[in-house]
Amino acid sequence: MTYTYRIILEEDEGGYHASVPALPGCHTWGKTIDEARAMVRDAIDAYLRSLVADGEKVPTDSGFELFETFSAPKGVGAALAHA
C-alpha cells in the first residue's frame, strides 16, 4: 500500500524546516531543499513504522493546499521602507 502526504518546506535558520501536516509532530530539517526532502522521507518512514509497531492506524492526508495572491493595501510599501 502507498500513501501520499503533503510536505511543507519553509526557510529556517540557514536551512529548511520540513513538516507533514497529516502526521502531528513529524518535523525535520535540512541544510538544502534536497536534504530536507530526504530527511522528511526518513521521518515519515520512522513515523509510520512506529504507528504500525504500536498497532495504531496509519492516517491518510485528506487535506489540500490553496494559494491566493493579494495586492498589498496602500501604504504597506512605505511602512516597510521605514522599518
**Domains, in order of start, for the chain:** 8-82 (3.30.160.250)
- The pLDDT, as a whole number, for residue 1 is 84
What are the pLDDT digits (tens) for 11-40?
Answer: 998 999 999 999 999 999 999 999 999 999
Which of the two residues, 82 and 21, has the higher pLDDT score?
Answer: 21
Q: How many helices (H) and strands (E) does the chain have?
A: 2, 3
Mean pLDDT of 1-10: 94
- The pLDDT, as a whole number, for residue 28 is 98
- The pLDDT, as a whole number, for residue 16 is 98
Which cell is 9 given?
Answer: 518546506
- The pLDDT, as a whole number, for residue 65 is 87
* CA torsion angle 27 28 33 39 (round to 10): -110
Cα(20)–Cα(26) distance, integer angstroms: 6
Cα(36)–Cα(41) distance, integer angstroms: 9
What SS3 string covers 1-23?
Answer: CCCCCCCEEEEECCEEEEECCCC
Q: Kindly report the pTM of this predicted structure.
A: 0.80
